[in-house]
C-alpha cells in the first residue's frame, strides 16, 4: 500500500523553544519528514525568560550537548553549529515568530531565528538581530518590531503555556499527533510510525 498522496489533510502540533538545541534539529527535518504524508505542521513556540525557566541542563550535560552531541548531529545534517550561544530570553523572538506567522512568513522567520542562535551564535533577544532576519525573509522590520513591543504577543505566549500544560507538554521539542506525545527530535521516527499506522488503518 502506498503511503503517499493522501487526500485528507491532518496536522502535527510542534512545540518548540529557541533555547533548545534539539528543537533546532527537529525544525530542520520535520517538514521534509512529514511531506510524504501530506501532514501540516502547527508550529507552537514556548517562550522562556532564560536559563531559570528554560531547558534544564546540568553543566556537564550542556557541555556534552555543545561539544559532542550537537556537532555530531549537525555534521550529519551538513548544518553549521556554534557552541554556547548567548544565554538569553526567548519571548522577544517567539513574539516575532507569532507576528511573522500572521503574515504568512512564520516558517521562514522561524528557520532564520534558529539559525541565528545555533548556527551563528547571535543573541536572538536583540531587536537588531530579529530586524535583520525579518528583512531577509521579506517582512517590514519596523512594523514587526513595533508590533512585538505591544502586549498582544506576550498574551498569546502566556496562553500557549497554559495550552502546553493541558496537553502534557513538559519539554521541547514535543510533537503531538492525535493525542499521542513524542518528546525529542530522536522520537520523530516513532511519530512517523504512528502516522503510517493511522494511514494504513484508515485505508483498510
The domain spans of the chain are 10-202
- Each residue's pLDDT, cut to its tens digit, for the chain (204 residues) gives 344 444 457 899 999 999 999 999 999 999 999 999 989 999 999 999 865 666 767 889 889 999 999 999 999 999 999 999 998 999 999 999 999 999 999 999 999 999 999 999 999 999 999 999 999 999 999 999 999 999 999 999 999 999 999 999 999 999 999 999 999 999 999 999 999 998 888 765
The answer to whether the bond into 173 is cis (omega within 30° of 0) is: yes
Number of Cα atoms under 13 Å in the Cβ half of residue 11: 7
Residue that has been written with the C-alpha cell 534544564 in this structure = 56
For residue 35, the model assigns a pLDDT of 92
Q: What angle do the packed helices 106-118 and 127-137 form, to 10 degrees?
A: 130
The model carries a pTM of 0.90
Q: Are 153 and 98 in contact (CB under 8 A)?
A: yes
For residue 201, the model assigns a pLDDT of 80
Cα separation of 139 and 68, whole Å? 36
For residue 198, the model assigns a pLDDT of 87
Q: Spell out a b/e string for 119-146, using b for 16 or more CB atoms within 10 Å of the CB, else e.
A: eeebbbbeeebbbebbeebebebeebbe
For residue 203, the model assigns a pLDDT of 66
147: cell is: 508590533
For residue 204, the model assigns a pLDDT of 55
For residue 53, the model assigns a pLDDT of 61
The topology under which CATH files domain 10-202 is Glutaredoxin (3.40.30)
For residue 49, the model assigns a pLDDT of 84
- Residue 73, number of CB atoms within 10 A of its CB: 19
Amino acid at each position: 500500500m502506498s503511503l503517499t498522496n493522501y487526500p485528507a489533510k491532518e496536522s502535527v502540533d510542534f512545540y518548540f523553544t529557541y533555547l533548545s538545541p534539539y528543537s533546532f534539529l527537529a525544525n530542520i527535518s520535520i517538514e521534509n519528514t512529514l511531506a510524504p504524508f501530506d501532514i501540516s505542521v502547527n508550529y507552537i513556540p514556548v517562550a522562556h525568560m532564560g536559563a531559570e525557566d528554560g531547558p534544564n541542563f546540568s553543566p556537564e550535560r550542556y557541555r556534552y550537548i555543545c561539544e559532542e552531541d550537537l556537532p555530531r548531529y549537525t555534521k550529519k545534517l551538513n548544518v553549521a553549529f556554534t557552541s554556547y550561544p548567548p544565554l538569553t530570553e526567548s519571548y522577544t523572538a517567539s513574539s516575532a515568530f507569532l507576528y511573522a506567522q500572521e503574515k504568512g512568513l512564520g516558517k521562514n522567520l522561524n528557520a532564520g531565528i534558529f539559525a541565528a542562535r545555533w548556527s551563528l551564535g547571535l543573541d536572538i533577544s536583540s531587536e537588531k538581530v530579529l530586524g535583520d532576519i525579518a528583512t531577509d525573509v521579506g517582512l517590514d522590520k519596523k512594523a514587526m518590531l513595533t508590533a512585538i513591543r505591544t502586549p498582544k504577543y506576550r498574551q498569546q505566549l502566556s496562553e500557549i503555556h497554559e495550552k502546553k500544560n493541558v496537553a502534557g507538554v513538559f519539554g521541547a521539542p514535543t510533537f503531538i499527533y492525535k493525542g499521542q506525545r513524542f518528546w525529542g527530535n530522536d522520537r520523530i521516527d516513532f511519530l512517523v510510525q504512528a502516522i503510517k499506522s493511522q494511514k494504513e488503518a484508515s485505508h483498510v
